[in-house]
Amino acid sequence: MNGHAVQPEAVRQSTAARERVKVALVSSRSAAVDIPATNYPIERFTLPNGLRVVLAPDRSAPVIGVAVVYDVGIRSEPEGRTGFAHLFEHLMFQGSRNLEKLAHFRYVQGAGGTFNGSTHLDYTDYFETLPANALERTLFLEADRMRGPRLTEENLRNQVDVVKEEIRVNVLNRPYGGFPWLKLPPVMFDTFPNAHDGYGSFVDLESATVADAQSFFERYYAAGNAVLTVSGDIDTARAARLIEQHFGDVPAGAAPQRPDFDEPDLTEERRSAYVDRLAPLPAVASAWRVPNPIEQFSAYLPYVVLAEVLTDGDASRLVQRLVMRDRTATSIGGYLGFMGEPFETRDPTALLLQAHLPPGGDVDKVLRTIDEETERIATDGLADGELARTVARMGTHLLRDTDAVLGRALRMAVLEQQRSDPRLINELPRLLSQVTEEQIVAAAGQLRPQRRATVEVQVGNPGGAQ
């Protein structure tokens, strides 16, 4: 094993003894990093209509973060309605039962706040950051559209056009548009929920009807399918009263039964390539299935750390090898989940590695190097300090991401939604620091070519086909 400057006497006695001591040392080596723990106070309750509520008071600054997360995402949209989850997110900003179009914008911004929403594989969120004295205002706004957005033909057609333009800007007319989050899933997966284009086809978007939107709202936007989180400068008793006042009469609705989206793992490598006429350089992305992030969390965490060991920072394995030494790649990145959300995704998901190559770069050589480096970890373990350095960086990023009240509210809302455990936000840095070298070694051993799905971006020319 790499990194043991001083070895016990028994190691020098025989090959068999060396292997026994090696295993014992690997199994006991964790990161041993002292990551400061957070201790955000958290209160939870559920309204009679099924709405789950998480409150996280923090009186250090007169600011609040408010998030409403619905348990519906790209994987939930029906066949023939690709892009519908994202389209519906847009419709939720087009007025509500008591408010005309654009009123939500005016009331949040008029209070000095900011707002947005986003669509993910497994959920859709709506969120605001505001001065603390605007709490009741934002609760009224979110409750009003939970009762019912203004689903009119005019609003639908307008937002279909907006989403189509977004696709043009972000995918069709941008270098590497949709790479790899739209391009890789159909290579790895076979079923519609996991493999389809979450941005949507123009045909599907244009054929959407108001009746489709109303049905989608009634099925997925029930109070029982949502989590409300408020973080920041709040008095929890007052906040609970206001939440009961504004959300208590939202019609009750049970959460729909979530389908099982699982698929068999790959048993042979899958590869695909396409020409991007706008891309200046070739690129490649590969993915491997990982354990269920909800039901097998302890088995999943080593892959989260492994992705960072391989790619995070100039000292990481693949940056050193591909970028610094061999110069077969200009950049390399690794992460968990097709949208880069390791703690906000359900099964099935994957570990992804993506690289951009120099002109004329050799994709096969990059893939061989990745195989060699993962095999080195699986065979030789980690160098001294490699795991500690990686986990320290990861802990810093986790603490930074949840330092702002909105980042805290969003993460706790999804943890409540997917795990019924928003307090996990305080535990994540510690849990990462407890991942052992033995677990990293075992995870690296699973990144075999026969379990890999790969998509390659080939450089086109202005007259070439995409």
pLDDT range class, residue 6, cuts 50, 70, 90: very low
Q: What is the pLDDT of residue 97?
A: 84
Residue 82 Ramachandran class (φ > 0 left, ψ -120 to 50 alpha, else beta): beta
Q: For residue 352, is pLDDT > 90?
A: yes
- Of 7-11, 195-199, 370-374, the poorest mean pLDDT is in 7-11
- Tokens representing 255? 């959460």
pLDDT range class, residue 237, cuts 50, 70, 90: very high
Condensed to tens digits (0 to 9), the pLDDT of residues 41-61 reads 999 999 999 999 999 999 999
Q: For residue 412, is pLDDT > 80?
A: yes
Where is mean pLDDT largest: 170-179, 248-257, 457-466? 170-179
> What's the CA gap between 214 and 221, in Å, rounded?
10
The residues pairing with 275 across neighbouring beta strands, listed in sequence order, are: 458
Q: For residue 11, is pLDDT > 70?
A: no
Read off the DSSP letter of residue 223: G
Mean confidence (pLDDT) of the chain: 91
Condensed to tens digits (0 to 9), the pLDDT of residues 291-338 reads 999 999 999 999 999 999 999 999 999 999 999 999 999 999 999 999
Q: What is the pLDDT of residue 37?
A: 79
* DSSP strand pairing (63-70 vs 114-119): unpaired
Q: What is the pLDDT of residue 254?
A: 80
Q: For residue 444, is pLDDT > 90?
A: yes
Q: What is the pLDDT of residue 65?
A: 98
The HSE-up count of residue 201 (CA atoms within 13 Å, CB side) is: 9
Q: What is the pLDDT of residue 462?
A: 42
Distances in whole angstroms, Cα of residue 367 to Cα of each of 313, 318, 361? 20, 11, 12
Q: Which residue has the higher pLDDT, 206 or 9?
A: 206
Average pLDDT value for residue range 26-37: 63
> What's the CA gap between 253 and 97, in Å, rounded?
18
Q: How much of the chain exceeds pLDDT 70, in percent? A: 92
Q: For residue 27, is pLDDT > 60?
A: no
Average pLDDT value for residue range 359-387: 96
Q: What is the pLDDT of residue 12?
A: 32
Task: Report whether 49 contacts 251 (CB < 8 A).
Answer: yes
> What's the CA gap between 234 and 87, in Å, rounded?
33
Q: Which residue has the higher pLDDT, 254 or 223?
A: 223
Average pLDDT value for residue range 407-419: 97
Task: Report whether 252 contacts 50 (CB < 8 A).
Answer: yes
Counting Cβ atoms within 10 Å, is residue 167 exposed (0-12), middle (13-18) or buried (19+)? buried
Read off the DSSP letter of residue 96: B
> What's the CA gap between 320 and 250, in Å, rounded?
55
> What's the CA gap between 353 and 458, in Å, rounded?
17
Q: For 127, phi and psi rounded to 5 degrees?
A: -155, 155
pLDDT range class, residue 36, cuts 50, 70, 90: confident
Q: Which residue has the higher pLDDT, 371 or 97?
A: 371
Q: What is the pLDDT of residue 32?
A: 63
Average pLDDT value for residue range 109-113: 95
The residue type at 423: R
Q: For residue 392, is pLDDT > 80?
A: yes
Set out the domains of the chain in order of their start, with CATH numbers. Answer: 43-247 (3.30.830.10), 264-459 (3.30.830.10)
Mapping DSSP to helix (H, G, I), strand (E, B) and coil, where does residue 192 land? helix
Q: Could you identify the residue written with the tokens 């998901």?
A: 349
Condensed to tens digits (0 to 9), the pLDDT of residues 325-340 reads 999 999 999 999 999 9
pTM for the model: 0.90
Number of H helices, E strands in the chain: 17, 11
Q: For 406, phi and psi rounded to 5 degrees?
A: -70, -45
Q: For residue 26, is pLDDT > 70?
A: no
pLDDT range class, residue 24, cuts 50, 70, 90: very low
| Alpha helix segments (H runs only) across 271-385 | 297-311, 317-318, 363-380
SS (H, E, C) 12-78: HCCHHHHHHHHHHHHHHCECCCCCCCCCCCCEEEECCCCCEEEEEECCCCCEEEEEEEECCCHHHCC
Condensed to tens digits (0 to 9), the pLDDT of residues 154-192 reads 999 999 999 999 999 999 999 999 999 999 999 999 999
Q: What is the pLDDT of residue 30?
A: 63
Q: For residue 117, is pLDDT > 50?
A: yes
Give, in degrees to the nearest 5, the angle at Cα 433 between 410 and 446.
Answer: 90
> What's the CA gap between 361 and 352, in Å, rounded?
20
> What's the CA gap between 40 and 53, in Å, rounded?
16
| Beta-carbon count within 10 A of 207 CB | 12
